[in-house]
């Protein structure tokens, strides 16, 4: 295929992904938005970058080609135990927002479509990080000097 045609089709696909992701981000009942809200309730910070796992399925006979397409889409293979059966786990780094989640899933769906495949979000690869509590450092205990115990100027200094 012509290199210019490849670039144009890639640009069109990117615009379509962005449009679908934008729609998912603003639509109040989108699955991507529900997923991000669920992850927020589980303790993940929305908007933070993290590794997100996806489960992919494809035609087992085209496993090598499907995995090559997934890698070209920017994902890494993390679980290849059932590749012969047409299943695998992949991971991608993205911000935990409905827009980015929808865009990543759309990219995976597009990469797997020629191989009869599909993708499903599993969730972040690592458990949520507990916020660190700022523990105040205690000031040293100093006993106040009472006025009735202070030496008078005529007595001089305490030695």
Backbone angles phi, psi at 79, to 5 degrees: -140, 105
Distance (Å, whole) CA 105 – CA 93: 12
Q: State what percent of residues in the chain have pLDDT above 90.
A: 30
Helices (H), 27-144: 31-41, 63-72, 98-112
State pTM to two decimals: 0.69
Largest CA distance in the chain: 103
- Tell me the domain boundaries of the chain: 3-127
> What class is the 3-127 domain?
alpha beta
pLDDT tens-digit profile of 64-114? 999 999 999 999 999 888 988 899 999 999 999 988 998 899 899 999 999
């Amino acid at each position: 295929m012509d290199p210019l045609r490849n670039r144009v089709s890639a640009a069109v696909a990117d615009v379509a992904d962005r449009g679908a992701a934008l729609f998912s981000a603003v639509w109040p009942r989108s699955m991507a938005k529900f997923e991000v809200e669920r992850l927020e309730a589980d303790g993940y910070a929305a908007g933070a970058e993290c590794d997100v796992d996806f489960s992919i399925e494809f035609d087992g006979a085209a496993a090598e080609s499907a995995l090559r397409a997934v890698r070209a889409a920017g994902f890494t293979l993390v679980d290849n135990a059932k590749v012969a059966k047409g299943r695998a786990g992949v991971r991608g780094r993205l911000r935990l927002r409905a827009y980015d989640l929808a865009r990543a899933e759309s990219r995976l769906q597009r990469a797997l479509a020629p191989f009869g495949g599909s993708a499903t979000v599993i969730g972040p690869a690592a458990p949520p990080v507990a916020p660190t509590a700022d523990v105040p450092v205690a000031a040293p205990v100093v006993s106040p000097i009472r006025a009735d115990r202070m030496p008078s100027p005529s007595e001089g200094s305490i030695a």
